[in-house]
Structure 1
Amino acid sequence: MTTIKTISVKSFGRRVARSMLIIPAVLLVCMFILVGVLLASSPGKVEPFLDENGRPLAGSISEKIFVNINGVEQGMFIKGKDKTKPVILFLHGGPGMPEYAVSRKYPLVLENDFTVCWWEQRGAGLSYSSDILPETMTFEQLISDTLEVTNYLRKRFGQEKIYLMGHSGGSFIGIQAAARAPEFYKAYIAVAQISNQLESEKLAYNYMIEQFSRLGDKSMLQKFEKYSINEINLPSYYTMRDAPMHKLGIGTTHNMKSVISGVFLPIMLHNEYTLSEKINIWRGKFLTTKTYDLWRKLVATDLTKKVQGLHIPVYFIHGIYDYTVSYSLAQDYFEELQAPIKGFYTFELSAHSPLFEEPEKMQQILQEDVLVGVNNLADIK
C-alpha cells in the first residue's frame, strides 16, 4: 500500500509539473495570437471612398494628416465623398476621447454632405505626445487650438466660413470657440451640449441610485456607496459610473451594454490607426483624465453664465435617454441662449450619441435645416 501511495503522489506531482509548464505556454501562444490580430488590424492606412467599380471615388477626400497647431503637431482625419462640400470641424468629447476611432462602427452621416475634419485634440489619440507640457493642457489652449484648426481648414479649402460641431466634452470647447469667433462659422451644432455639468452629474447620480434601488441591484448600489454626492467630480467616480450608466441605457448609446464591445474593441480593430496610435488613444485618455485634470475643470464651470448667446445659427441635438450630459439641463440652456436662429431636436431612441444612434434622422436635420439655415424640423425654436 505504501508503494502504491508513493507512486500516486509522484505521478500526481509530474502531472502538476506538466500543467505548470503547459499553462504558461498556452498563455504565451494566446498572447502571440492576440498581438498578431492587433497588428493585422492596424496597418494605419486610410481607406478611400470607392465608386461602384471599386475605384477611388472621383472628387472625394480621405486622408490622415498631421498639422502644426500652436506649436504642437496634431493629427486629424479629413474625409468626404465630395471635397467641394461645406467643411465641418468635429470636436470630440472625453475630454481626450477621439470619436473617429468608433465612428466607423456606425453608418456614415457627415461624409455624405460635408468635408469632415475629425481632429484629435491636443494630447489625444493621433495628437498624443509625451512631450506635451501639462501646463498647456487647459481649456483655454484647446479653444485656441480649435480656432487655429478652423483657420487651417478655411485656408486649405478656400471657404470663408465652416461649420462647427461639438459632441459632449467637445461642446464645452465648441460653444466657447463659436462665441469668440463667430465670423469663422456658418453655424454651431451641439450634440449633447454641456451646460452645468456638476448639476448634470448630480441628476445622473440620483437617478442611478433610484433605479438600482428599484431594481434591487445591491452590487451596483455598493459601488455608489464609495462616493457621496459631493465626490462625483472625482476622476475615479467618473470612471466608475460608465458601467452603471450603460446598464441602464443612459450612457454612450441607449443600447450599449459594455464599453469593451462598444468602444474598446471598435478602436482596437480600426484599421486606419497603427497599433502605436491605438495605444496612444488610451495613453492620452488616461493623462487627460488623471493628470491634466480637464474633467474637474469642466465640471466646475457653469456655461450658462459664461456663454449666454451666439451670433450665428445654433442647433442642439440631444438624446432623450442621455444622463451623461443632462437632456433636461441642455433644454433649459437652449431656451435661455440667444441666437439669430436656433433649434432643439429631441432624439427619442438615443442616449448620449444621437449622431451614431439615429443617423437617418441626423442626416435629415443636417440636410433640411442646418445646411439651409432654418429650424423647420426643430421641437423647440
Structure 2
Amino acid sequence: MKNKSNRLIYFEEYVHINGIDQYLFHAGTKYDNPVMLFLHGGPGFAESTLSYIFQEKWERIFTIVHWDQRGAGKTFTKNPDKCPTIDLMLKDLFEIVQYLKIKYNKQKIILFGHSWGTILGSIFIKKYPDEVAYYIAVGQVISMFQNERVGYEKVKELALQSNDKKSLKELEALGDYPGNNYGINFKKESEKLRKVQAKYGLAVNSNFSAIMGLIRSPIFRLSDISALMKMDKVNKEIVEFWSKFDIRSESSEYKVPIYYILGKNDWQTPYIIAEEYFKKINAPYKKLYLIPGAGHMTMVDEPNLFFDALADIRIVENVVN
C-alpha cells in the first residue's frame, strides 16, 4: 500500500474486537484533528476500498477511520464464519470507539454513517451518546418500506414520461412493490428496482466503471470481490433487521448534535423522507445540507460541495463547543 501523498497517518490494521480480528484503515494529516469513524453501507458493502476516490480533502480536517464491519470486506475475509447480528455489531462498534479514543487520545469520536451505516449509527448514538462528539448522516435511512415505495413511484413517473416500455414492464413485474417482503427477498426485489432507478440516475449504478474504481484502490485485494459476492448470505440476520427498520418507531430526541448531508437526486434513500424526519429531530444542535446534483453516493457525485458541508460542520462545532 503506497502512501502517495505522504500522509502523516496512513495505515491498515486488524484489531481484536469483540472476539474476532476486525479491519481498520486510518488516514489523516494531523494527530490533533478530530477522529471520524466511517460506518459503511450494505449491509455488507465495505466502502474502505472506495475511500481514495472521495476523501483526500477530508483528511485535512479529520482523521478518518474506515471499519470493515463484521460480515463485510476484509473483516469478513478474516472471519468467514462469523455472521453478524445487530447486537454483535453494536458491541463491535462500542469497542472500536473505545479503541480509537485511546489510540488518538480523544474524549469522543465523530460517527459518520452512509446508507445502512446510518441505521447502525442512529441506534448507537441513542444507546451511547456520551461516546460520540456528533453524528453525520449521508443517505439517512428513515423507513425501508417507505424508502422503497417512494423510490418506486419516482422512477415509475419518469419511465411514464419517457414512454419507456421496457422499464415499465420491469416495474410492473415487481407487483405491489415492496409488498410484504422482508429479509433476503426484500433485498433481491430492491436490487431489481435499483437497476431501473440507475438508468435514470436515481440510485447507485453498479457498472463496469464502478468495479474498476474498486480494483484501482490502493487497499484492494482479490478477496474483496469474493466478500462482496457472499455478503447477502453472511448478513441474513442483519438484512432481516434492515428490511424492517423504521427510525420513527423510536423517539426523535437525541443527545448529540445531528448533521444530515443529503443528495437532492437520491431516490435510493429518498432525501424527501429524511428531510421531513429531520424537522422533527430535537437535538443539542442540528443542521441539514442538501447537495444539488448528488445521488446516493453523495460524496462521490459532488465532492467539492460535500467537502464544503464537512468544512462548515467543523466550523459550526468549533463555534458551538
State the TM-score, normalized to the length of structure 2. 0.91
Matched, 1:309 2:253: yes
Which residue pairs with 1:193 in the alignment?
A: 140
Divergent runs of 4+, >3 A: none
CA distance in 2, matches of 1:231, 1:210: 22
Matched, 1:218 2:170: no
CA distance in 1, matches of 2:317, 2:55: 24
Per-residue Cα deviation, 1:308-356 (whole angstroms, up to 9, x for no partner): 2211111011011111101111011111111010001111111112222
SS in structure 1 at match of 2:317? coil
Matched, 1:176 2:123: yes
Amino acid at match of 1:364: D
Equivalent of 1:69, from 3, 17, 40? 17
CA deviation after TM superposition for structure 1 residue 274, in Å: 2.3
* 8 Å contact kept, 1:103–1:356: no
CA distance in 1, matches of 2:315, 2:71: 32
Which residue pairs with 1:83 in the alignment?
A: 31
* 8 Å contact kept, 2:71–2:80: no
Which residue pairs with 1:10 in the alignment?
A: none
Which residue pairs with 2:71 in the alignment?
A: 123
Q: Which has the larger radius of gyration?
A: 1
* 8 Å contact kept, 1:315–1:370: no
Amino acid at match of 1:245: Q
CA deviation after TM superposition for structure 1 residue 172, in Å: 0.5
Where do 5+ consecutive residues of structure 1 fail to align?
A: 1-44, 51-55, 253-257, 377-381
CA deviation after TM superposition for structure 1 residue 371, in Å: 4.7
Q: Which moved more, 1:351-360 or 1:340-349?
A: 351-360
Which residue pairs with 1:299 in the alignment?
A: 243
Equivalent of 1:352, from 290, 296, 317? 296
Which residue pairs with 1:368 in the alignment?
A: 312
Which residue pairs with 1:320 in the alignment?
A: 264
Equivalent of 2:231, from 285, 307, 324? 285
SS in structure 2 at match of 1:373? helix
CA distance in 2, matches of 1:141, 1:193: 22
CA distance in 1, matches of 2:40, 2:33: 21
Percent same amino acid among aligned pairs? 25
Amino acid at match of 2:13: I
CA deviation after TM superposition for structure 1 residue 132, in Å: 2.8
Amino acid at match of 2:81: I
CA deviation after TM superposition for structure 1 residue 93, in Å: 0.6
Where do 5+ consecutive residues of structure 2 fail to align?
A: none
CA distance in 1, matches of 2:319, 2:251: 21
* 8 Å contact kept, 2:261–2:309: no
State the TM-score, normalized to the length of structure 1. 0.77
CA distance in 2, matches of 1:155, 1:374: 22
Which residue pairs with 2:149 in the alignment?
A: 202
Aligned pairs, how many? 314
What RMSD, in angstroms, separates the aligned Cα atoms of the two structures?
Answer: 2.1
